A = this chain, B = another copy of it.
Amino acid sequence: MTHETPAPATLSELAALVGGSLRGGTPDQPIHGVSSVADAGPTDITWVSGRSYLKSLADSRAGAVLISPSLGATPMPAILTADPEDAVRRVLTRFEVAHERPPPGIHPTAIIGAGAELAADVAIGPCARVGAAATIGPRTRIHAGVHLGAACRIGADCELWPNVFVADRCRVGDRVVIKPGAVIGTEGFGFIFREGEHRRVPQIGIVVIEDDVQIGANTCIDRAKFGATIIGRGTKIDNLVQIAHNCKIGPNCIMAGQVALAGSVRLGMGVILAGRAAVIDGMSVGDGAKIAVGSIAFKDIEPGGAYFGTPARPHIEFFRAMAAAQRVPDLIARIEELSKRMSELEAAMHDRKAD
């Protein structure tokens, strides 16, 4: 059942799961869950990812700890592993409870368009609509109230949560997760002002979402004016993100909550946009670049750098400008002082001349 508490694990089971070795404790010591160093109780396992957290272990009630062998002794039993952060991920997987999802098959209230093709073990939830000639790959789960437009192509092993909207002809790869309320493929925001009105510019393109992408709740991705808005393989997008028409996003990018990309933005590989970062229309962001929280890029961004501020500047320029700005009150004081000394000198010089 999806709502039951997971069975307890043992230390030896968890050590095997993460490929680590047990130090102290007993192999069958029960572990019921995972928690932080501060909050963990005697039946929880915790983790330490660096030397700076080591001291806090002394006060922890945790039953066990995941830790690198290089960090030395611990007050509780330890599972030694070279990568404690990834080990935590594995342990969390152990305690995860499967969420409720529609079972394979088509709910009687779902509506399947003419010519739609559903592969084996597809699940279609209540009130979902699958458009004419749409195709859905094996084991994909379509939750209640989802809208798939005509001729959509959805891959294998995807999960589309309730009320997701995917417009006609859009394509979604394999293992894609789209969270509730996300809207994929509505028309780009294209108008041209003529004779006193904003005339709609048809957006005849589509959205292509590649394999292993995740899209957050209530996020919006617009279809292209022509061609495709593309979200690259392995890219992860958080909630309430806006991606305008004709953006091309490379693989393995990260976009945190409320990020916005205006039209025709290009992101390279592995770009990281922190929460509420943005890029104006037509700009490119190079591979591996990072844009900080709330910063807005008004120009192309070089690969690999860290950018701050609005307009976004390289890390070092931004902090230099911040530091300079903080010296302005001091500059004012110094100019006052120089000005006073100048007047005194001028007076002295005048007196001397008058001698």
Contacts and interface: CB of A to CB of B under 8 A. Distances in A.
Interface of A: 1-3, 33-36, 39, 83, 85-86, 88-89, 92-93, 95-97, 99-100, 109, 111, 113, 126-127, 129, 131-133, 143-145, 147, 149-151, 161-163, 165, 167-169, 179-181, 183, 186-187, 189, 191-194, 196-204, 212, 214, 216-218, 220, 222, 225-227, 234, 236, 238-240, 242, 244, 252, 254, 256-258, 260, 262, 275-276, 278, 280, 293-294, 296, 298, 310, 320-321, 324-329, 331-332, 334-335, 338-339, 341-342, 345-346, 348-349, 352
A256 B346 CA distance: 58
Nearest to A133: B3
19 contacts: A2-B132, A3-B131, A3-B133, A33-B226, A95-B202, A126-B127, A147-B162, A162-B165, A165-B181, A189-B256, A198-B254, A218-B218, A258-B260, A262-B275, A275-B280, A294-B296, A321-B326, A324-B332, A325-B328
B149 A100 contact: yes
Contacts of A296: 276, 293-294
A198 B233 CA distance: 11
B151 A3 contact: yes
A86 B192 contact: yes
When A and B form their complex, which 9 residue pairs have the shortest distance between CB atoms, in order from nearest? Answer: A3-B151, A3-B150, A183-B217, A220-B239, A242-B257, A324-B328, A92-B202, A100-B150, A165-B180
A92 B226 CA distance: 8
A133 to B, nearest CB: 5
Contacts of A167: 99
A105 to B, nearest CB: 14
Determine the main DSSP class of A at the interface with B.
loop
Contacts of A111: 126
B202 A93 contact: yes
Given A127-B127, A226-B33, A331 B332 contact: yes
Nearest to A203: B92
B257 A260 contact: yes
Given A35-B227, A234-B198, A278-B294, A257 B252 contact: no
Contacts of A86: 192, 194, 199
Given A86-B192, A324-B328, 5 more contacts: A92-B226, A97-B169, A179-B186, A189-B216, A320-B329
A335 B334 contact: yes
A339 B218 CA distance: 58
Contact of A132 (B33, B100, B179, B220): B100
Contact of A218 (B133, B220, B254, B335): B220
Contact of A276 (B3, B162, B260): B260
